[in-house]
Amino acid sequence: MTTHGAHAPTAGVPPYVLVAGPERVLAERAIDSTLEALRDRDSDLEVIKLYAEGYEPGSLTMHASPSLFGGTKAIVVHELEDAPDELQTEILDYMASPADEITLVVAHKSGMRGKKVLDTLKKAGARVIDCPLVKTDGDKAQFAGNEFRRQGRKVTPDAVRALVEAVGKDLRELAAACAQLVSDTEGVVDEAMVEKYHGGKVEATGFKVADAAIAGNVGEALRLLRHAISTGDNPVPIVAVLAMQLRQMVRVGSAGRGGSGQLAKSLGMAPWQIDQARRKLNGWHPDGLAAAIQAVAAADFDVKGGGRDPVYAVERAILTICEARNPR
């Protein structure tokens, strides 16, 4: 919610901004975009960053005091969820008598600590920018798509899928990969471009192994597995990908005939993932899926310390999946 009052240090940015949520990449973007908007109005903007850890009492009050030289300021308070009582009190005292030339930006990850400050900010009409965790592949795909749009580039759904599969474990790495593709390529970003820049990661990842195993292609699945292991991949994430894809197939198979866009939100998946799972379900019988999931559960136990040979455990799971896909 944003409320513009008489006290508005710059057009477009209210006097209070609350960045709420645990996703650090999104929070950093929110703070940076707020400061950029403020600098658009005043290139001489002074930015003061205060942190809960090691906070020296009186710092916020000192920085918020009127300056003999004037000028606009942005005071950014990080880690409100860990803020000592002194810092919280100083924020509340400042808000009781704010200064026209100051914008107060407060970042809060989660939890109840700092609740009075949060409530006061919201009541005062702070702009609230939510930064929830980006956990599912669907959320990561949406994030990647937004990254390209934000930088004025078009990207195909297959390219987004390949990028998430290649570097989607870490959101910061995903953002960097998007920026690299924007910088180093021209035109619509497609799957071939992603393969060119991240092909080694894509080819040696559990996604390729899982695709081959679920298709019943035992020779290709084992070849890809051995290549992945030889290039340094760990059996644990490979088994995790096998489990994830089989679970997605079960969820999509039991969800009915609705459109992929319609089911995406309820299943926590991207539409392309639903379409992909439906394609993979062709030729599978419920009993075969059950056997495959049991095999992967056993492999998961083995690769996490329960067995003597993690690689053999994955090979055995792949053989069982392929047999379940192609019963004799």
Tell me the CA distances in angstroms from 273 to 70, 84, 130, 260, 328, one per residue in order.
Answer: 54, 45, 25, 8, 29
- Predicted pLDDT of residue 3: 32
Q: Give domain 16-130's CATH number out of 3.40.50.620, 1.20.1260.10, 3.50.50.60, 3.40.50.300.
A: 3.40.50.300
Question: What pLDDT score was predicted for residue 5?
Answer: 31
CATH class belonging to 137-203: mainly alpha
Q: What angle do CA 274, 275, 278 make, to 5 degrees?
A: 85
Phi then psi for 33, rounded to 5 degrees?
-70, -35
Report the Cα–Cα distance between both ends of the chain, in Å, rounded: 61
| Among the listed residues 108, 43, 118, the one whose alpha carbon sits nearest the alpha carbon of residue 76 | 108
**Residue 73, pLDDT score:** 94
> Which segments within 194-289 are labelled E, that is strand?
none
d(CA 31, CA 47): 11
DSSP H or E segment with residue 74? strand 73-78
The CA distance from 319 to 242, in Å, is 13
Question: Which DSSP letter does residue 48 get?
Answer: E
The two structure tokens encoding residue 87: 């810092």
Nearest C-alpha neighbor of 228 from the set 243, 247, 211: 211
CATH number of 206-325: 1.20.272.10
Cβ-based neighbours of 222, under 8 Å, separated by 6 or more? 315, 318
pLDDT in tens, the chain (328 residues): 333 333 334 448 999 999 999 999 999 999 999 999 999 988 899 999 999 988 999 999 999 987 766 789 999 999 999 999 999 999 999 999 999 899 999 999 999 999 999 999 999 999 999 999 988 888 899 999 999 998 899 999 989 988 888 887 788 889 988 998 998 899 999 988 988 887 666 544 678 889 899 999 999 999 888 888 887 778 888 898 899 889 989 989 888 777 887 787 778 777 888 888 898 998 899 999 999 999 999 999 998 887 788 999 999 999 999 999 877 6
Task: Outline where DSSP puts E strands in the chain.
Answer: 16-20, 46-51, 73-78, 102-108, 127-130
How far is 14 from 6, CA to CA, in rounded Å?
10
**What are the boundaries of each domain within the chain?**
16-130, 137-203, 206-325
Please state, in angstroms and as integers, the Cα–Cα distance from residue 198 to each residue in 180, 201, 204, 205, 212, following that order: 11, 5, 10, 11, 19
Sign of CA dihedral 260, 262, 263, 268: positive
Do 83 and 113 contact (CB within 8 A), yes or no? yes
Token output for 182: 């924007």
